[in-house]
Structure 1
Amino acid sequence: MSDDPEYSRPEAPFNALPPMVVAIALVLGAVELLFQIGSFGIVGGPDAIGWRNTAIQDFGFYDSVFEQMRSLGLWPFEHVRRFFTYAFVHFSMTHALMAMVFILALGKMVGETFGNLAVLIIFVVSTLAGSLAYGLLLTVERPLAGAYPAAYGFIGAYTFILWLGLGAMQQNRMRAFTLIGFLMGLQLVYGLLFGGSPDWVADLAGFVAGFVVAGLLVPGAFGRIVARLRQR
């Protein structure tokens, strides 16, 4: 049967994804797996049950820590790293899995369009944008944790791809923002019904960062955007 020209082997799911997207998802998954096996006492002994909380305390982003660094003008690495490391620790397995689903789904399109380096840049910049927005715009005790700002960064880059595509087809560009509008609407409804968290500020900042970075990766893209805005 292997000689049949019409026969084709099923493609492994990870083979269809850009390597950097897979690498990011694997790192996030490995950290979460460590928390899971620790919570069941498989490794680490009794102390492993609290690994997740300890990791959030050590690597999560805290507005109070950020404000203290700003007021003192001191930026020790152990706290500066929080601008990025918060993305690798999540509040629960569900929290982590949802972030990975978004990154795998949207990262595929972004990676195929811009390449592996762009995937890493968008992940890093969106993560940083999320923590900066969280620290500068809010005064909260709740730590920021999870890769959602980075995931929204990929949504922003995907939105930019749609934005350009719709413009090329002379269609309504605002349709490109349907996904982010739907997700922000969901967060609003959930917050009204069950009590929301301020994380959406970081998510929205990640989205904007992803959109902007994607624009910078396309030669002449922002020039065309500015020209169109001036026409209006």
Structure 2
Amino acid sequence: MSAARWVWVGPAVVFVLIEALLSGADTGLWGSPLWRPLAYQYGGFWAGLLHGWQANYPAQPLAMFATYPFLHAGWQHLLGNLVVFGWLGEQIGRSFGAARLAALLAISALGGGACFGLLTTSPRPMVGASGAIMGLVAAWIAGEAHEMARNGQPRARILRMCALRSAAVLALNLAGTWIEAGGLAWETHLGGFVAAALALVTTLRPLRQK
């Protein structure tokens, strides 16, 4: 298996193992039903910790930026994320390589957490890999733009494609927020997408040509 593939397969395996462990505890197969709330309490992203809340351990306000993507709200949440994470991770990995894919995922997750912490008013924790996934979406759009530029497409057409796809992403997020009655962490999606977009036009560009 290539190094780039391991960059997304490794986290995906950890996602599944953690959810399996917590789901088993939920149903009494092992452990305690308290495992999931404890995992959220110690590993979820609590915006209040950036605004004076008392942390459970000293490093939690920083550690939660790294831990929240590995927790999910159940199998439905996880499987939906896994499909997109794997599909885009494979494509982006081929053009980025392992190091830049890892950097993209990290930047997107950090951006997603930061935006959630700044914009949300929810007292609930945020979990899930959606911030990193939105970074992959931004990279997918950037990859299409790069390919169009290589093929000599006019700049205006490239910009229009980027604008239309970005608008579609925004519309899907708005629809998801409405359908889930506010349960969708749109702030995380926005932060992951914007952080990745900024990285893609600075340190992570251009895409590697095949």
Which range, TM-score by smaller chain? 0.7 to 0.9
Instruction: String of CA shifts for 1:25-77, please: whole Å, max 9, x gaps.
Output: 11111111111222222221xx2x232222111111111111117xx9xx931
- How many Å separate the matches in 2 of 1:114 and 1:33? 31
**Shift in CA distance, 94/26, structure 1 to aligned 2, threshold 3 Å:** same
- How many Å separate the matches in 2 of 1:199 and 1:110? 24
Task: Give the letter for the 1:63 counterpart.
Answer: A
1:1-232 aligned within 5 A: 18-44=5-31, 47=32, 49-68=33-52, 76-169=58-151, 170-171=153-154, 172-173=157-158, 174-197=160-183, 199-215=185-201, 216-219=203-206
Report if aligned partners of 2:96, 2:207 keep a CA contact under 8 Å in 1: no
- How many Å separate the matches in 2 of 1:199 and 1:100? 17
Q: Which residue of 2 aligns with 1:230?
A: none
- 3-state DSSP of counterpart to 1:18: helix
Gapped regions of structure 2 (runs ≥ 5): none
191-200 or 98-107, which deviates more:
191-200
- How many Å separate the matches in 2 of 1:23 and 1:115? 15
- 3-state DSSP of counterpart to 2:52: helix
Higher relative contact order (CA 8 A, sep 6+): 2
Report if aligned partners of 1:159, 1:211 keep a CA contact under 8 Å in 2: no
Aligned residues: 201
Report if aligned partners of 1:126, 1:207 keep a CA contact under 8 Å in 2: yes
- 3-state DSSP of counterpart to 1:140: coil
**Shift in CA distance, 139/193, structure 1 to aligned 2, threshold 3 Å:** closer
Displacement of 1:159 after TM fit? 1.3
Gapped regions of structure 1 (runs ≥ 5): 1-13, 222-232
Task: Give the letter for the 2:194 counterpart.
Answer: V
Report if aligned partners of 2:11, 2:70 keep a CA contact under 8 Å in 1: no
- How many Å separate the matches in 2 of 1:157 and 1:148? 14
Greater Rg over alpha carbons, structure: 1
**Shift in CA distance, 52/28, structure 1 to aligned 2, threshold 3 Å:** same
Task: Give the letter for the 1:139 counterpart.
Answer: T
Task: Give the letter for the 1:59 counterpart.
Answer: G
- 3-state DSSP of counterpart to 1:145: coil
Instruction: String of CA shifts for 1:74-112, please: whole Å, max 9, x gaps.
Output: x93133101121111111211111111111111111110
Task: Give the letter for the 1:208 counterpart.
Answer: V
- How many Å separate the matches in 2 of 1:187 and 1:125? 20
34-43 or 167-176, which deviates more:
167-176
Q: Where in structure 1 do 4 or more consecutive aligned residues deviate above 4 Å?
A: 177-180
